[in-house]
Structure formats: structure tokens, C-alpha cells
Structure 1
Amino acid sequence: MKADQAELVTSYADGTIGVTIKYGKSYEDTWAVFRGTVRQVRELICDYFGFECKDETGLSLSDLVVNATNLAHGKGNIASILDARVISETPAQAPADDPWAAASATKPEQTSDNKSAWILGEIEKAPSIDELKKLWAANQAMFADPAVMAAYKARGSALKNG
């Protein structure tokens, strides 16, 4: 970790620690301070930065702080350099009479439970035998399905004769 990225870790007499993660290099930049036991600080950092704690449990607290620091620095840079701002993941309520909002709020209906539907569609769209071969090379496991292999052979034949 570079010296300017080093974060402040403080040990207290009561056995707790404090971790300070800065969003930038200057004193005026935002800081996030976490205090508690190592486990509490880990959970606080995960919650604060939106990390899935189960994904972070294999990391040491030091590694978790590095990941959080990188995220904080990235957000800080985006905000200061690009004059950007963070927006909510949930969109603001659109007016009730907005047909575009109503259309985008509806979820597409699942047309098939067939796990091979995607590859079958790609096989059908393949414009050449070379593209068909590339599709097979990149997705070999999907070709264990007899229906996929049959579609592959049929498309290859159609391209060869067409």
C-alpha cells in the first residue's frame, strides 16, 4: 500500500480498534471512521461499503480495508475529478401517467425454462460456419445437450448448402 493510501488504525485500552478510511489525500476529503472489535469493524465496513460479508470473510481485516480504501478513493476521484455524484440504485418515483416508466417497470416474461435457449438462439443467428465453430469452441459444455448438438449440425449444414 502506498504511503498516501495508508489508513489510520488505532488500538484502544478497552480492546477495540478504530479504522479510518479516507476518500482522498487531503484533510478536507471525506473520512469514514469505524470503531469496535475486529469482528464489529469488519461488519461495519462491509455494511458501510455495501460488500457482501460472506464474500469478504476469507480476507484479513487489512485486505478488507485495502478493498474499501480503493472503493472510497475511486468514488472520491469520480466525485472530484468528474464532478459526479452518487445516485440511488432505486429510481425515483415517476409520475403515474408516464407510459415510459410503466413500460420499463414491467419485467419481461420468461418465455422458456430451457437452459439451452440462449445457445440455440446463438446457433440460429450464426452468419457463417467459422462463427458457428467459434460459438462451439467458447461454449463446449452446452453442446452436451443433444438438442443443442442437433441444432448445431443443422445450422452447419444449412450454412454449407445455403
Structure 2
Amino acid sequence: MSETTVTIKYGKGYDDTWAVFRGSASEIRADIMEFFGMDPATQAGLSLSSIVTNATQIAHGKALIATALGATVVEETASEPAKPTNDPWAAASAAQSGASPSSASVAEPKKEDPNAWILGEIEKQTTVDGVKRLWANNQAFFSDPAVMAAWKAKGKALKEAGA
């Protein structure tokens, strides 16, 4: 198999940081996920192109945070990110469902669909322009075929309704 080269830039300028990966597609896939700290389970089933797109989003986000906010990277650990103990979103969801907010924050967090949020946002849209904006602002979610199918169905339904 031939060697492939993938370059991911952190910005548009020549002086911006670049990350270059060379090797077979499977080697590059593994290298990119390791380099950007991506969880292989969340990237399972994605093409190399989709993984490059996700990694580019990470690179651009880090560059933007560094340039716009003057932030610097601090120690990165391999451990799982801290889970919020008093999550306002969980409390709001619990309040809507009739449960007490305190029981929602005390309960063990459930493993939920990573696309639940975007699927809910797609469903909330009332105009074709809203659906288009949602896609433009959240492209990383749309590499999942189920999300893309829901988005297309919502857009089609809104278009037929004249919204």
C-alpha cells in the first residue's frame, strides 16, 4: 500500500502550527487520534477523512482559544475528565421531568447517546434556515449517519411545510 501524507493546520497562515502525519491510512488514523487525544471509541466507524475533519476542528479550536483569549495549554492527563457534581443542565432536565434537582445531581450519571443533544436541537428547529445554521455551527456531529439522516428529514419536512 502506498504512503499517505495528511497535514492538519491550526490556522490559515503559513506561520501557524502544522501537524504532519505520514504512513498507511490505518497508521495515520491511529497517529491522529493519539496526537489529538481523541477517544477511539467516539471515532469508531468514521473514515480517515472524517477523523481528519474532527482533528482539524480540535486544532482550529485550540488555536482560536490561544490567539483570541491568550490561553495556554496546561497539564493534560490521561484520566477521564472530571464530571460536574452540580450540573445545572441535569437539574433543569430533572425539574422538567418532575424529579427533584437534588436527586438528579446525586444520582450516578447515565451513559447516554452522545448524539442526544444534537438530535434534540434538530427536532427543535422550526425553519429551514435554522436547520442550516445548526449544521453550519455543529459540523462535527454530522459525521454520524443517524444525525445526518435526522437533519435531512427535518429539513425536508420543513421545506414541504413551507417553513
TM-score normalised by the chain length of structure 2: 0.48
Give the number of the structure whose alpha-carbon radius of gyration is greater.
1
Higher relative contact order (CA 8 A, sep 6+): 2
